[in-house]
Amino acid sequence: MTASLKRKVLFLFLMLVCAIVLGITKGSVKFSLSELFLQENRYILYLRLSRILMAILVGAGLSVSGIALQAILRNALAEPYILGTSSGAGLGAVLAITIGIGTVYIPIAAFLSAILTIILVYNLARHGNKVPVESLILSGVIVSIALSAIIVFLVSMSSNEALHGMMWWLWGNLQVYDFKLLFIVGIVVLSGITAIFILAQDLNAISIGEEEAMHLGINTEIVKKVLFLITSMITASLVSICGIIGFVGLIIPHMMRLVVGPNHKVLIPATCLAAAIFMIICDMFSRTLLSPLEIPIGVITAIIGAPVFIILLKRRRVR
């Protein structure tokens, strides 16, 4: 890593520290750092730190998944939810709420539904032992649309109380309800990020072209399958605990490519830092813009991400 890249990564780390300070001091009620460490405010500090931990986990997991998918699909507009994982998890959560099972089991239902969706999309796209990129994207879009239609139908048929719970969950929330579940999801996400980082050199080769990668001795089909499985597991795990938070895996990797370049060995850690900063700031806005009401964080990321997506799409068409 060059001196210039080291300075950029250090700057991102300092920005993350500043974002964490803002995240724990700003909210529906503002506190100074000294006030938060008073005995009577320890519970508020505890809640805000847990949200920051969740924000870092979600940002890093979704953004690194976005990097991997953009490389293996060779599509700059790919992101973790393009393959229908989020819609599958959302449907599982909506079904759980509609049936009326305990809130403890909603993440489990979401996760299992997401895994079934992954299997469905993969088998729809598979041709023999290969999974063509075009078929995979098309299958993901078709399944996502179909599941979203079912979600809308179920929401429209539900009572107002159930409807509020469904829509709130579907649009994303970083509130930590179960630390045991957060610990399990954290292990899955961190293990997945580590595995993707280990395959960084393979991603560099595949990004150039599959033929070039094969000449370097890389079995591209196996690498694509492994990364597809890893990114799906990361996304399913995160959706099961925090709902659907879109565009993070799209805009942050693009921003970081402009800052640190396309080398995945540098891009992955830099993107983790930047995505953590982005999610902490978005969560702060979700808690303060309409205080004391809280806006689902997926709304904030969509407002920011949609214009960026349109800009990227127009640039891609021009090229």
Higher pLDDT, 76 or 116: 116
Q: Answer yes or no: is pLDDT of 275 > 70.
A: yes
**Which pLDDT score is estimated for 64?**
96
Contact 270, 8 (CB under 8 A): yes
**What is the crossing angle of helices 106-125 and 220-242, to 10°?**
150
CATH topology of domain 30-318: ABC transporter involved in vitamin B12 uptake, BtuC (1.10.3470)
CA distance 32 to 24: 9
Q: 161-166, long-range: CB within 8 Å, 24+ apart, which pairs?
A: 162/97, 162/98, 165/97, 166/93, 166/94, 166/97, 166/98
In 3D space, the residue among 190, 180, 174 whose CA is nearest the CA of residue 301 turns out to be 174
Mean pLDDT of 301-313: 79
In the chain, pLDDT over 90 holds for what percent of residues?
28
278: its two tokens? 């982005």
Burial of 47 (0-12, 13-18, 19+ CB in 10 A): middle
Contact 223, 199 (CB under 8 A): yes
CA distance 74 to 143: 21
Q: What is the mean pLDDT of the chain?
A: 85
Mean pLDDT of 195-224: 87
CA distance 122 to 119: 5
Domain residue spans in the chain?
Answer: 30-318
Mean pLDDT of 250-278: 93
**Cβ neighbours for 120, distance < 8 A, ≥ 6 positions apart:** 84, 88, 143
